[in-house]
Amino acid sequence: MAEKIKCLIIGSGPAGYTAAIYASRAGLQPIMYQGGQPGGQLTTTTEVDNFPGYPKGVDGPTMMQDLENQAKRFGTDVRFGLATKVDFTSQPKKVWIDDQTELEADAVIIATGASAKWLGLEGETTFNGLGVSACAVCDGFFYRNQVVAVVGAGDTAAEEASYLANLCTEVHMIVRRNEMRASLIMQERVKNNPKIHIHWNSETEEILGDANGVTGIRIKNRETNATEEIALTGFFVAIGHQPNTSIFKGQLDMDAQEYLITEKGSARTNIPGVFACGDVQDSIYRQAVTAAGSGCMAALDAERWLASNHLH
């Protein structure tokens, strides 16, 4: 027998928790399934200085715990579990958790966020957890006083390189073009850091290693085709994110990058009663505060939709 739910929230980043706060205060008795990374991407961040209301800054895990506590205070039922399948063709909508538990929800709020992208090199799998990482803040500690590399040239890569430079003896930044995408202030920070060596026009050909983990990388200059081996123990990939939308394929409208499409000025997807908020539908801003704002929109839209369909 499937459990019947009025308002199901999938995902537990700033968008999911904000939706939960609004939905629970509106009496929608929301149930949240947290997903594979409870608290979302911010749990892998140290300092968050740009979320309003924290004048002294806050570390990511603390902020997410605060949001969870706030959602629970109004009665949100927060549960572990990953949504693995959905069927939005019927009303109520059907959602499966961890391939077994079946739920029936009148309204569904999707806040599944986005995940780190990988280069597609064999070594990323072979050495995952043995020198390869997509999160400097999570794993940098293990590479104190060692040599590491960061791939990418956006704000994340620049931030991770600066972070690692505080811990490591040397940081090699592998940049595929002759310019960076990161904001000017972040570019200046990495360029002026004597511990960070930028390899322009370069791509990683291979991650080298043995049974103990990563021992180096081979990079190739894309202009000259010259290759170079760098001895190091940590390899951090920071090349952007992929929205977590695979279970919605064929049911919800997505753009070319597979971000969910919401109706302008709303959280409505193409299926009535299914709403999306946060990074899963935002390839532009991707900030905690914009995610939280869109979570509020999703809960208000869900409440109005439930009321207009006499489901609340």
CA distance 294 to 299: 9
Q: Per CB under 6 A, which region of 66-74, 152-160, 265-273, 289-297 contacts ligand NDP?
A: 152-160
Taking CB under 6 A as the criterion, the residue among 132, 157, 267, 299 binding ligand NDP is 157
User: Which of 177, 218, 253, 308 touches ligand NDP by CB under 6 A?
Assistant: 177
The verdict on whether 138 is a catalytic residue reads yes
Cα torsion through 42, 44, 47, 48, rounded to 10 = -10
Q: What three-state secondary structure class fits 43? A: helix
Active site residue 139: yes
- What torsion do the CA atoms of 21, 25, 29, 30 make, to the nearest 10 degrees? -20
- Output 36 or 57, the one with its CB closest to ligand NDP: 57
Quick check: 217 binds ligand NDP (CB under 6 A)? no
Closest C-alpha among 74, 78, 120, 79 to residue 242 = 120
Q: Which of 139, 279, 282, 301 is catalytic?
A: 139
Q: Nearer Cβ to ligand NDP, position 119 or 311?
A: 119
Render the burial of 231-246: b for 16+ CB within 10 Å, e for the rest: ebbbbbbbbbbebbbe
Rg (CA), the chain: 21
Kindly tell me which residue out of 61, 75, 240, 293 binds ligand NDP, with binding defined by CB under 6 A.
Answer: 240
* Position 136 contacts ligand NDP (CB under 6 A): no
168 catalytically annotated: no
CB of 8 to ligand NDP, least distance (A): 28
* Contacts of ligand NDP in 267-286 (CB under 6 A): 286
Q: Which residues contact 159 (CB under 8 A, 6 or more apart)?
A: 136, 186
Active-site residue numbers?
Answer: 135, 138-139
The footprint of ligand NDP (CB under 6 A) covers 119, 151-157, 159, 176-177, 181, 239-241, 286
